[in-house]
Structure 1
Amino acid sequence: MKIFIMRNWHKISIFILAFTLIWLRRIDILTNAQFWAEDAVFWYKDAYEQGFFSSLITPRNGYFQTVSTLIVGATTFINPIYAPLLSNFFGIIIRAIIIWFLFTDRFKFLSTTSKIFISVYLICMPGLDEVQANITNAHWYLSLYVAMIIISEESKSKLWKAHDLFFIVLSGLSGPFIIFIIASSVFKYLHLSKGVISIRGLYLFYTRLPYLAMILCGLIQATSIILTFNGTRSHAPLGFSFDVMSSIISSNVFLFSFVPWNIADAGWDNHLLSYTLSTLVITLCVFLYIKGNWQMKVFATLPILIVAFSMAKPQLADSVPQLPTLATGNGSRYFVNIHIAIFSLICVCLFQCIKNKTLKIFFKIYVSVILIVMIKLNFFITPLPDMNWSQGAELINKAKHGEAVSFAVLPPWLTLDLIKK
C-alpha cells in the first residue's frame, strides 16, 4: 500500500483536491446532508420497504437505474440520520473521479494545459444546482465517464480492463444513455478500420469485451423499456417551435456553458442573438464532424444525442407546454454533458490544434480570464432549503413496526412516506 501511494501520490492528490473543491461549492452537501428528489421518494423508500436486492433488480420509469438503487439502497443498512451523508459522499466521488481519470496515463494525448483548464471547468462550471453531487443524477456523469473510456488510450493492464468493464456496466445499467454511447463508439470503429465498413470488422470490434458489455447493457435497458414502461412521463404538450429551439441552442446549450442563467437567458429575450448563436453552434458542429478527429466526434456525439432525445421527450411540466419552460433555466441536468463537451473541445482546439505560439499564449490568457470570471460568478452554489432530514430520520427511528412515517424532503413539494420495518 505504501509503495502504491508513493507511486501515485500526485494522482491521489488531484482526486482529493477535486473532491474538496466540489464539496466547497456547496458545503451543506455534507454538513447538512439531505436526499434530493428520487433519492428519497424512490430509491430510499423502495430499498427500505421492499429490500435492497428487490429494489436493485426493479426498473423504474422503464429502465434500470443501478447507481441510484445501489448507493442509496445501501444507506438503508445504516442509521437513517446518516443516509444522505453517505449518498452525497459517493455523489462527490463520482464527479471527482472524472478529474482523476483525466490525469492518468490513458490521456497522454491531451496536453497538461488542456487537462488543467478542463478540470477547473468541471469543478466550477455553471448550471449545477440540480445535479451537484446527488446520486439521482449521477448517471449523467457516468455516461460522460464511459465516453472518456472510449476515447482514452487502451491499456493491457488487467486492473485497467477491470476498471473499464466496471464503469461500463455500472453506467449501462444506470440509464438508457448506453444506447447513445454505443452509437458514439462507431467513430472509433471507423478510425480503427480506416473508414472501411465490413460485417467482419464490426463483429470483431463489437465482440471485444468492453463493447460487448455495452451492447448487453443496451439490450437489457431496451428490453426493460419495452416490457415495463408505464407511461409515467409527462403527457404535457411539447411546445416545439423554431424560435424555441433556437433559444434553447443559444441560451441553454451555448451561453449557459459559461455564465449563470441570469446572463445566459439573453437568447430567449433577443431573437437576433438567438438565431445568430444557434446558427454558429450548428455550423461549428458540422465543421467538427468534417474536420475533427474521431475522439472529438465521439465526445461530441454522446451529449448531442442526449440533448436531442431529451428535448423530444422531456420531463419538465405536467400541464403546460414543456420546452418553453426552459426559459427559466429549468432542466439544467439535460445540458451538463454538452456544456462539458463544448468547453473541452474548445480547449483542445485552442491549445493543441493551433500551432502558432503567440496565438496559444493569447488564448491561454483569454480562457484563463473566462475561467476567473466563471469562478467569481458561479463557484458558490446557494444551499438548498433545510427540510430537517435529521428530524425526519428520528421519526423513522422512533416509529413502531408497521407505523406510517411521513415528512417533507427536497424539493420542498415532495413527501417521503415510509412504513417502519
Structure 2
Amino acid sequence: MRVVGRGAVLLTAIAGAAIVVLRRPDAVLHAQFWAEDGPLWFGQAWNGGSLHALTTSYSGYLQTLPRLLALPAVALGLRHAPLLFNASAIAIQVAPAVFFVSNRCESLVPRRSVRVLVAFLYLLLPNGEINANITNAQWHLALLAFLVIVARRPRSRWARALDCIVVAVSCLSGPFCLVLVPVAAAWWWRRRGNGMLWLGSAATAATAIQVAALLLSTRPSPPHLGASIGGAMVIFANRVVLAGSFAQDQAPFLLADSGRSNALWAIPVTIVGIGVLGTTLLRGPLSLRLFVLAAGVVMLGGMLDARQDPGQPPLWRGMATPPFGGRYIFMMEVAWMVSVIWVASRLPRPRIRILGVTAACTCFVSGVAIHWSYAPYADLHPERYASQLERAGRGTIVTVPLNPPGWTVTLVAH
C-alpha cells in the first residue's frame, strides 16, 4: 500500500510538471522574466543587495517567496536566473497536487483515486496569468499552505519544520495571512495538538511581521470599482461558475461583459452557483467549508483592492471577463470545482452520482481540450542582454526589455 502511495505521488509530480510545461514550453526551453520578475525580484536584489531587497515591501506587502529565490538567482546571473524562477514556479504550482495525493491528506479524502482526480483537475484548471511565473507563484503557495494546515500532522520533526516554513513564507508573501491565520485558528479549535500549535505560532509570527510592513508602507490609491449587484453576479457567474465548469481562461464564454442584459443571464447561473456552494458550506466537511470561505475572502479582496493600471475601465467591468484578474479568481475556481465534485458525490442514487461526476468532468475536460495551450512570450532575446551585461565594465547600466510590453529592468554591471 505504501509503494502504491509513493507511486501515485511520483506519477502526480511527473505528470503535473509535464502538464504545466506542455501548456507553455517556452517557460523552460526559452525562459524569460515576466513583469515584476525583472525590476523587482531580480533587479532590486542585483542592484541593491539581496538582503536589503528581502525586507522591501511591494504594494504594501512583503513578497518573501520571490525575494528568497532572488538570492541564488543573483549568483546565477541574468543568463540563468529566468530559468531558476520559472522552474521554481512550476515546482510550487505542482506541489499542492502532489501533497493532496500523498497520505498526509488521507484524513481529508480517504479514497486515493478521488484525491488523484481532484489533483489532476487542479493541474488542468487553466489560468495563464499564474502559470509558471514566480511573480504569481504565491497563489499556489497559499493553496499548499492551506492543505498543510488541514492535513494530518507528520511524525518527523523535519517534516513539521517544513510545514511551518511553508505556512510562514506564504503568510509573508502577499496578504494571505489574513485568511490562513483564521483557518489555522479554526482548525486548531477542532483538532487541538502540538503540531497545530507550532503551525499557528509560525502563522501568527509571520502575520505580525506582515501587518507591520503594511502599516509602515505606502499603499497604492484604491481602484475605481464600478460596483453593482449585476456586476457582482456577472463576475461570479462568468469567472467562477462558467469558467470553472468549462475550464475557460481566455474567452468570455457566455457573458461578454457586465451590462444589464448579461446581468439578467447571470441570475440563473448565480442561483445554481450559490446552491452548490451553499450546500457545501452547510453540509460539507470542515476542511472544505473552510476552503470555500477562504477562497471567497481572497476573491472578494481582489474585487475590492486589485491592482489597476491608470486608464483601465472600472475594476468590476474588467473582472467580468477573462483573463483580467485571473489570480484573484483562481482559488474560488478551485473551490467551485471541488464543491461540484463533492455535491455530485452526495447525490441520492449511485447511477445519478456517477452521471453527475461524469458530466462535470466531461464539461471540464472538453474546455481544457479546446483551450489547452498558452501563447508563448515574445522573444526579446534575453541572451543578448545577458552577454552585454557580462562584458560591460563595472558600473555600466544595461536596460533589458521584458514581457509584457512596457516592462524593463535596469541593471548595473558588477
Could you state the TM-score of these two structures normalised by the residue count of structure 2? 0.90
Summarize the Cα distance change of 1:94–1:419 in structure 2 as closer, same or farther, 3 Å threshold.
Answer: same
Question: Which 10-residue stretch deviates more, 158-167 or 97-106?
Answer: 158-167
1:31 and 2:19 correspond: no
Match runs of 1:49-128 below 5 Å: 49-109=47-107, 110=109, 111-126=111-126, 128=127
Q: Which amino acid aligns with 1:307?
A: M
Structure 1 residues 390-420: Cα deviation after superposition (integer angstroms, max 9, x where no partner):
2222222122111111121011111111222
> Is 2:257 aligned against 1:259?
no
- In the alignment, the residues of structure 2 paired with residue 159 and residue 404 of structure 1 have an alpha-carbon distance, to the nearest angstrom, of 44
Q: State the shift of 1:6 in Å.
A: 10
Any residues of structure 2 matched to 1:349-368 within 5 Å, and which?
Answer: 349-351=343-345, 353-354=346-347, 356-368=349-361
User: How far does residue 363 in structure 1 lie from its aligned partner after superposition?
Assistant: 2.7
Q: Does the C-alpha gap of structure 1 residues 363 and 409 become closer, same or farther in structure 2, counting only changes over 3 Å?
A: same
Q: How far apart are the structure 2 equivalents of 1:285 and 1:350? A: 12
What residue identity is the alignment partner of 2:247? Answer: V
SS at match of 1:99: helix
| 2:45 alignment partner in structure 1 | 47
**Could you say which residue in structure 2 is the equivalent of 1:401?**
394
Task: Give a deviation string over 1:142-174, Cα, whole Å, max 9, x none.
Answer: 111111112212233323312311211121111
Q: Which has the higher contact order (CA 8 A, sep 6+)?
A: 1
1:279 corresponds in structure 2 to 271
Shift of the 143–75 alpha-carbon distance from structure 1 to 2, 3 Å rule, reads same
For 2:189 and 2:10, the matched residues in 1 are separated by 35
Q: Secondary structure at the match of 2:130?
A: coil
Q: Take 2:162 and 2:343, find their aligned partners in 1: how far apart are those partners?
A: 29
Aligned AA for 2:168?
A: V
Match for 2:230: what amino acid? D
CA distance in structure 1 between the partners assigned to 2:364 and 2:175 by the alignment? 32
Q: 1:57 to 1:374 in 2, by over 3 A?
A: same
Q: Which residues of 2 match residues 175-214 of structure 1 at below 5 A?
A: 175-192=174-191, 208-214=197-203
Work out whether 1:244 is the aligned partner of 2:231.
yes
Residue number in structure 2 paired with 1:336: 330
CA distance in 2, matches of 1:22, 1:300: 25
TM alignment of 1:314-393, pairs within 5 A = 314-319=306-311, 320-329=313-322, 330-351=324-345, 353-354=346-347, 356-393=349-386
1:186 Cα deviation from its structure 2 partner? 4.4
Comparing 240-249 and 131-140, the one that deviates more: 240-249
In the TM superposition, what is the alpha-carbon distance from 1:339 to its structure 2 partner? 0.9
Which secondary structure state, in structure 2, belongs to the residue aligned with residue 405 of structure 1? strand
Match of 1:153 in 2: 152
User: How far did residue 368 of structure 1 move?
Assistant: 3.4
SS of aligned partner of 1:412: coil
Residue 122 of structure 1 and its aligned partner are, at CA, apart by: 1.7
CA 1:355–1:243: 2 relative to 1, 3 Å = closer
Q: Deviations over 1:323-374 (max 9, x none)?
A: 21224421111111111111122223323x3463222322343233224302
Return the alpha-carbon distance in structure 1 between the equivalents of residues 365 and 106 of structure 2.
26
| DSSP-derived class of the 2:408 partner | strand
User: Cα gap change, 1:287/1:362 in structure 2, threshold over 3 Å: closer, same or farther?
Assistant: closer
Structure 2 distance, partners of 1:361, 1:139, is: 35
Which stretch has the larger CA shift, 236-245 or 38-47?
236-245
Give me the whole-angstrom Cα distance separating, in 1, the residues matched to 2:277 and 2:128: 27
SS of 1:130's equivalent in the other structure is helix
Taking structure 1 as reference, are residues 224 and 87 closer, same or farther at Cα in structure 2, changes over 3 Å only?
Answer: same
CA positional deviation for 1:253? 2.2
In structure 2, stretches of 5+ residues that fail to align are none
Name stretches of at least 5 consecutive residues in structure 1 with no aligned partner. 194-203
The amino acid that maps onto 2:394 is H
Q: Check conservation: 2:296, 2:332, Cα contact below 8 A.
A: yes
Asked if the contact 2:308–2:315 (Cα under 8 Å) also holds between the matched residues in 1, the reply is: yes
AA matched with 1:256: A
How far residue 26 of structure 1 moved from its aligned partner, in angstroms, is 0.8
- Secondary structure of 2:139's match? helix
Number of paired residues?
404
1:258-299 CA-partner distances (Å, limit 9, x unpaired): 332424351636222212222332343333322222111111
**TM-score, normalisation: structure 1:** 0.89
Q: Classify 1:338/1:205 alpha carbon distance in 2 versus 1 (closer, same or farther; 3 Å).
A: farther
Relative to structure 1, the CA distance from residue 399 to residue 377 in structure 2 (aligned partners, 3 Å threshold; closer, same or farther) is same
Task: Identify the residue that residue 222 of structure 1 maps to in structure 2.
Answer: 211
Deviation at 1:238, TM superposition (A): 1.8
2:411 to 401, 415, 418: 418
C-alpha contact (below 8 Å) 1:184/1:301 kept by paired residues: no
Moved over 6 A (4+): 4-7, 204-207
Separation in structure 1 between the aligned mates of residue 364 and residue 233 of structure 2, nearest angstrom: 26
The aligned residue for residue 172 of structure 1 is 171
| 1:58 shift after superposition | 2.1
Q: Structure 1 residues 16 and 370, CA, compared in 2 at 3 Å: closer, same or farther?
A: same
